[in-house]
Structure 1
Amino acid sequence: MNGLRQGNLGPYALAGRVAVVSGGSSGVGAACARRLAEQGAMVAIGYHTGRDRAEALAAELPGGGHASLFLPMTDSAAILAAATEVEARFGRLDVLVNSAGTTRAVPHADLDGLDDETFDRILVTNVRGPFATIRAFAPLLRRGGDAVVVNISSLAAVNGLGSSVAYCASKAALDTMAMSLARALGPEIRVLGISPAAVDTQFVPGRDRDAMLRQAAQTPLRVVCQPDDVALAVLAAVTHLRLSTGTTLLVDGGRHL
């Protein structure tokens, strides 16, 4: 039937599969690594400057075979080397979570405060980096014929409210890129996004917890989003949203309302 696959695929079992999580040494990425490992995946924890954290996390994850992986978003050659390392160590890749990112708090009206260097750094890390990672790992992901890429995006892509104009733009670009790549990489690879609002981490420099509490109080669900809330959404996207691709899911407590 023109290469069509049968529907009703059932849950995506993670036992014996391999996952790479960029930005996996802390925050949302670390929570994703824990949840994937709990379900039986072997996890390579990507890091840039957090090697010690990545190695410590790899040692404490349930199951075996986990590893740390140098995976800097600003260095495409190093990303390609990481893909080569994963192929040599594991021989396969089934799940790629693009969790690495950066920002800087700059008031949106302060146009001069958002200098070119900051703007470029945010776009390179948050957009080019995930693209270069997908590009490097695509041959390995395709090999199994049933792989998943999940990008950690943000509500900022939708409402234009966030730590800086550049950050909002970068996450909007990430969402659009997911649509383009979902077309290009199917049927072997699904591409999805998960978009939280503010998450209870130290991701945004200078953002205190009171600001996060105030934001959560304005949402219908009135819940402060924890990294594990995002990780559970990633896990659901990987294991149960078998017919979803090219879409980004809000996990924001209703903040968009």
Structure 2
Amino acid sequence: MSEALPGNLGAYELTGRVAVITGGSSGIGAATARRLAAAGAAVVIGYNSGADRAEALAAELPGSGHLALRMPMAETEALRAAAAQVEARLGRCDILVNSAGVTRAVPHADLEALDDTLIDQVLVTNVRGPFATIRAFAPLLKRSGDAVIVNISSLAASAGSGSSIIYGASKAALDTMGLALARVLGPEIRVISISPAAVATDFVPGRGRAAVERQAASSPLRRVTEADDVALSILGAITHLRYTTGTAILVDGGKHL
């Protein structure tokens, strides 16, 4: 005979909760929006230039309360304004998924090709932007009392691999930032990094599915990581990893081995 789960260890419902996803109009962000909405959350789809795409996604999600908001990673005041709109329109924020990012493929050995403009763009979008977003939403998340921040990192952070040297460095910075934030934002907020290998999206300009399939072929599971694989990991981190914070979780098919 099975025993009932004690206390609050039963089903973790997202009904009535609000999730904000930066970079939410495509790729991992859009897949996560679909999963969290299906689990009952009201989803805020943050976008930079993909307004039409974000609005269309918000309209197709199951449930209610979904909306699209401009959340450019390079504009701190716009991120603060977005947090104020979420508070005014939805009254709360329980989940923040930092999925916005940028990169460009640059061979690691070609140091001259990794120009200052790209370095600055990647660091602003992938490091400063997530921090500014967390800073803007921290009061709302604290008020939730049981909030989660999920930062989308990468295997490149620990392997020194990825589309460029600066991309891997930016994700390592994001992970280190998560360590510090987990200390200072607890106990009300958990901070978790989800770190996939190459995902079958159009995130890296010029990288097609064939390139992702070649990378996946050398992993133990030999299967391409899809955006929904990452979204399911994010959902699991939110709903089931209740005693996990300040750590990075690989979703890479064993590629790190």
Separation in structure 2 between the aligned mates of residue 144 and residue 102 of structure 1, nearest angstrom: 30
Q: TM-score, length-normalised on structure 2?
A: 0.96
Structure 1 residues 116-135: aligned runs within 5 Å: 116-135=116-135
**2:114 paired residue number:** 114
**2:226 paired residue number:** 226
Q: Please state whether the residue corresponding to 2:28 is helix, strand or coil.
A: helix
**2:244 paired residue number:** 244
Is 2:20 the partner of 1:20?
yes
Separation in structure 2 between the aligned mates of residue 168 and residue 82 of structure 1, nearest angstrom: 28
Separation in structure 1 between the aligned mates of residue 234 and residue 50 of structure 2, nearest angstrom: 22
**2:3 paired residue number:** none
Is 2:65 the partner of 1:65?
yes
Q: Deviations over 1:186-235 (max 9, x none)?
A: 00000001000000001001112221111111000011111000000000
Q: Deviations over 1:62-104 (max 9, x none)?
A: 0011000110101001000000000000110000000000001
**What is the letter of the counterpart of residue 224 of structure 1?**
V
**1:204 paired residue number:** 204
Separation in structure 1 between the aligned mates of residue 28 and residue 208 of structure 2, nearest angstrom: 18
Deviation, 1:8, is 6.4
**2:74 paired residue number:** 74
Structure 1, unaligned stretches of length 5 or more?
1-5
Separation in structure 1 between the aligned mates of residue 13 and residue 68 of structure 2, nearest angstrom: 23
Deviation, 1:169, is 0.2
Q: Please state whether the residue corresponding to 1:193 is helix, strand or coil.
A: strand
**1:55 paired residue number:** 55
**1:213 paired residue number:** 213
User: Does the Cα contact within 8 Å between 1:10 and 1:242 map onto a contact in 2?
Assistant: no
Separation in structure 1 between the aligned mates of residue 176 and residue 199 of structure 2, nearest angstrom: 22
Separation in structure 1 between the aligned mates of residue 46 and residue 7 of structure 2, nearest angstrom: 33
Separation in structure 1 between the aligned mates of residue 80 and residue 94 of structure 2, nearest angstrom: 17
**What is the letter of the counterpart of residue 119 of structure 1?**
I
Please identify, of 126-135 and 206-215, the stretch whose mean Cα deviation from structure 2 is larger. 206-215
How many residue pairs are counted as aligned between the two chains?
Answer: 252
Is 2:87 the partner of 1:87?
yes
**2:177 paired residue number:** 177
Q: 1:182 to 1:11 in 2, by over 3 A?
A: farther
Q: Please state whether the residue corresponding to 1:191 is helix, strand or coil.
A: strand
Runs of 4+ in 1 over 2 A off after TM superposition: 6-12
Separation in structure 1 between the aligned mates of residue 41 and residue 175 of structure 2, nearest angstrom: 26
User: Does the Cα contact within 8 Å between 1:22 and 1:98 map onto a contact in 2?
Assistant: yes
Q: Deviations over 1:124-171 (max 9, x none)?
A: 100000000000000000001110000000000010011001000000
Separation in structure 2 between the aligned mates of residue 9 and residue 91 of structure 1, nearest angstrom: 26
**2:235 paired residue number:** 235
What is the Cα-based RMSD across aligned positions, in Å? 1.2
User: Does the Cα contact within 8 Å between 1:191 and 1:246 map onto a contact in 2?
Assistant: yes
User: Does the Cα contact within 8 Å between 1:23 and 1:46 map onto a contact in 2?
Assistant: yes
Separation in structure 2 between the aligned mates of residue 10 and residue 105 of structure 1, nearest angstrom: 44
**1:162 paired residue number:** 162
Q: Please state whether the residue corresponding to 1:59 is helix, strand or coil.
A: helix
**What is the letter of the counterpart of residue 121 of structure 2?**
R
User: Does the Cα contact within 8 Å between 1:16 and 1:41 map onto a contact in 2?
Assistant: yes
Structure 2, unaligned stretches of length 5 or more?
1-5
Q: Please state whether the residue corresponding to 2:104 is helix, strand or coil.
A: coil
Deviation, 1:12, is 2.9
Q: TM-score, length-normalised on structure 1?
A: 0.96
Deviation, 1:10, is 4.3
